[in-house]
Structures are given as structure tokens and as C-alpha cells.
Structure 1
Amino acid sequence: MYDLNFRPKAFLFDLNGTMINDMEYHTLAWYAIMTEDLGAELDYESVKKEMYGKNHEVLARVFGNDRFSQEEVERLSIDKEKRYQQGYMPHLALIDGLSDFLARAKDANIQMAIGSAAIPFNIDFVVDGLNIRHYMDAIVSADDVLVSKPDPETFLKAAAALGVAPKDCLVFEDAPKGVESALNAEIPCIVLTTTHTIEEFEGYPNILGYIQDYNDTKLNTLF
């Protein structure tokens, strides 16, 4: 069904762990809040497994739907994002090779969008901090969808915003739930091995290949 030799009309990028290698800092921020502030008896790896979707979904998975009021969820979310940005700011950088890859795609008239479960506060922190907004023809954030990944809504909205059919898009992801979202949208996917091992992606038929960074020569077939 999926062929690495096709020429996509659009690239859809997840953000965290896919354009920047920052998932450790999200996990550290949540781990501190969950264990130190909220008293959860969780180890780091257990917290890491919950690092997908919107903040309120993360809290609901770990603590249950009725633990926090809406005001508490909002306060915890803001606290988490501030901790994340403070921790990651000194390390803010695109994954190796991505700067050249974005420029190459722009020159090839390939449209590009971000489809992320991050809130605009964090997306702005990255795209403006790294001066890459001019590459993006659309951005779909957590605030733009009703249901997070693995639901296909994020990537379907990104494709629609570009005016490109899903079958003509290529998703870049770093997480199994994101790959599943692309699969549900019937979009092929390239996986960044920044956050998860290749074994964790077993069973997803839409994966064209795995890369450590954007210097990988297998990406040359996309242009």
C-alpha cells in the first residue's frame, strides 16, 4: 500500500520529538508534578508511557477523570509547560539536518504543516524561537481538534488546511500513537527514533522507514 518512491505534495510534521528532540523535558516536567506535587507513586518510565495527547488527557489517564476540577487542570497544565520551557530553553534546537530539509522542501514547492498535540503556547515557543514559521503553510494544535492522536483528526485537518489529499501527504512522527493517527488518516509515515525504539512500532503498516535525523539519505527519494 505504501511506497517510499512516491513524491508527496505535502509534509506533515509532529512537533515534539520529531522536529525537536525535547520529549525528555516534557516527561521530566510531568514526573516532577505527578510525583512531588501530586504524590503519585510512578517511576519515570511509567510517566513516559503517558506522554501523548492533550494535558487534560494525560492527567485523566494517570489520575482518573474526576480527580481534578477544570481550574486545577488548567493550573497544572500551565505549570507543566512553564517547567518544560524553562528546562528545555538552553537546548532548543532543530533535529540534525532538519533546517536544510525544510529549505529543500520549500524550494521543491512541497507544502508543510505542523500537526501536534501541543498547545499554541508551546508551538509558538518552538517555531518562533527557531525562526521556522515561514516554512509552515498551516499549524494544527491541541486547540484545533476535539480528539487527540491516535484519532486522525489532527493530520486530516492539517492536510485539509493545505488543500492536499491525505494520500498525497507524508507524516513525520516519533511516537506510536502518532503513527497510529497517521494510519487512521490513511497517510504514510516516516518515524524518527528519538523517543521510542523501532520495536515499539511493530505492526504499523504505514511506516515507510526509520531515521535518526534528517541527514538520512533515504529521504532523498522524496524530492
Structure 2
Amino acid sequence: MSNSTLNPQNSTLPPALIFDMDGVLVDNTPVQARAFQLLFRDLGLTTKALPLLKRLNGMPAGEIIQHVFRHPIPKKQLDSYAEQREFLYRTLYWDKRRALPGLVDFLKAARAEGHKIGLGTGSGGPTLSYILDHLDLRRYFDVVVGKDDVPRGKPHPDTYSRTAAKLGVAPENCIVFEDAVLGEQAAYRAGMRCVAVTTSLKAKDFQAPLTTINDFTTLTPAQLLEMLAQQPDVPQPQKRRG
């Protein structure tokens, strides 16, 4: 893939903003890890879930679970394990669902300034509703793309490419918000720039984001335009990270 170049000063429209869900809209990675750990315990596995998620976060749950085994697991069995993990996660997180600080104000400001806004996640319909509808966030997104809308999950570019296509925006005019290394790589593979959200990883763990943020309390849409001017080329994805 060749570098894509954008001169935001010559762009007639503000860049589209595309958000991952888990770890970006909500800080739920520790709870996700706890749910995986309980599943592994039930299966008699000794894998440590949190380090696993730091490496594979962004993939659909079934694909993450497959990585724990040394032999292929039938898809029907993986789906069953994923459903068990999802039940554990929802039970653990039920009373803890909160939008990341500053998120709603940032989304309102971005919409007011004409940014198209999309969501691209490896989660499916019921899990999307569990977060988006409970927190009344769906109304801020023009497009929502989940795991059932694409053939391949992250780090493949499909999720973000599909979101941009549905928004009607060229990839080079999109900014992705990601908390995972594989998600950052998916953004670069799709020809987009990325803002890293450090809810579960450190800034140094990411390749080349426009910036890193802990939450949305200090970021403004206007600052994103300044950052784009300082990074005119989309970073090339690194195979070792993906």
C-alpha cells in the first residue's frame, strides 16, 4: 500500500471520525479480561487473560479464544465459548457501564463542526446494544459497523474500510480512535490515521498515532486538524504488529 496524503487545508469537508467501541467509548478492558480469565479457569486453561488481550484486543472473541489452544477448535465450539465469555462480561460489567470522560461533549462538538462520525468494532449486535443503547450513544453515530458486517475482523482493514464507505468518505480523510495495537494496524491498512486511546496500553505501545489521549476531556476537533497537518502521510502498517 502506498502512502496516502491529505492536505486538510485543501479539504472541503472536515475529516470523518471513526471510533472503536471497547476501550474507546468505555473503559471496559479490565472487565473483558476478567471475563476471559473466568472462562479459561472453567476450561482448565492457565493462560493469563490481560497480557493476551493487550496483544490481541480488537479481534472478535472467538478468534482470541482460538489463540489460546494449540489445535484448531470447531467454530461451533468457539462460538459457544464466546457466548459464555459474553455472559460473564455482561454480568460483571452491568452496573459499571460509563462513557469515557469527555466523550459525549467531544461527540457533540464534532457533530456541531460538521464531522461525520462512525463506529467500527469487532463486537456484534447484542453487545453493541449493551453499550450504545444503554448509554444512549447510538444517536451520535451516522454509521455503525460490527463484526457481522464484514468478512474479516481487525487487524484486517475491512471494519474501517466498510465504515468509511458507508459514511461516503475517502479513507485518507478519516481518523480512527483506537485503544488496541491490532486496531491501529487495521486503521493504517485501511489508509487512515489514528488517535490512540491509552485505557489499556501505554503510549509507547502504539506505532505512530496522531496523538495519544487518556480520555476525551482535553481533546477538541480543532486540534485534530492541526495534527493532520503535521502528519500528511498515512503510516505504513508494520507486519510484526499485525
Runs of 5+ consecutive residues of structure 2 not aligned to the other structure: 226-242
C-alpha separation in 1, matches of 2:158 and 2:116: 19
Paired letter, 1:32? L
Change (3 A) 1:59 1:170: same
How far off its partner does 1:112 sit? 0.8
Change (3 A) 1:9 1:17: same
Paired letter, 1:57? E
Partner of 1:147: 152
* Residues 31 and 47 in structure 1, CA contact (< 8 A), matched pair in contact too: no
Q: CA RMSD in A?
A: 2.0
Range with bigger deviation, 47-56 or 80-89: 47-56
* Residues 4 and 222 in structure 1, CA contact (< 8 A), matched pair in contact too: no
C-alpha separation in 2, matches of 1:10 and 1:198: 23
Match of 2:120 among 100, 115, 122: 115
For 1:179-213, what per-residue CA distance to the aligned partner results, in whole angstroms no more than 9, with x for missing partners?
Answer: 11111111011111101011211xx33x1101111
C-alpha separation in 2, matches of 1:65 and 1:16: 28
Q: Scaled by the length of structure 2, what TM-score is found?
A: 0.83
Q: Scaled by the length of structure 1, what TM-score is found?
A: 0.90
C-alpha separation in 2, matches of 1:78 and 1:23: 17
Partner of 1:125: 130
* Residues 174 and 192 in structure 1, CA contact (< 8 A), matched pair in contact too: yes
Runs of 5+ consecutive residues of structure 1 not aligned to the other structure: none
Partner of 1:93: 98
Kindly indicate whether residue 84 of structure 2 is the aligned counterpart of residue 79 of structure 1. yes
How far off its partner does 1:31 sit? 1.0
User: Number of residues paired by the alignment?
Assistant: 218
C-alpha separation in 2, matches of 1:41 and 1:213: 33
Change (3 A) 1:26 1:3: farther
* Residues 36 and 49 in structure 2, CA contact (< 8 A), matched pair in contact too: no
Partner of 2:68: 62
Question: What stretches of structure 1 move > 6 A for 4+ residues in a row?
Answer: 2-7
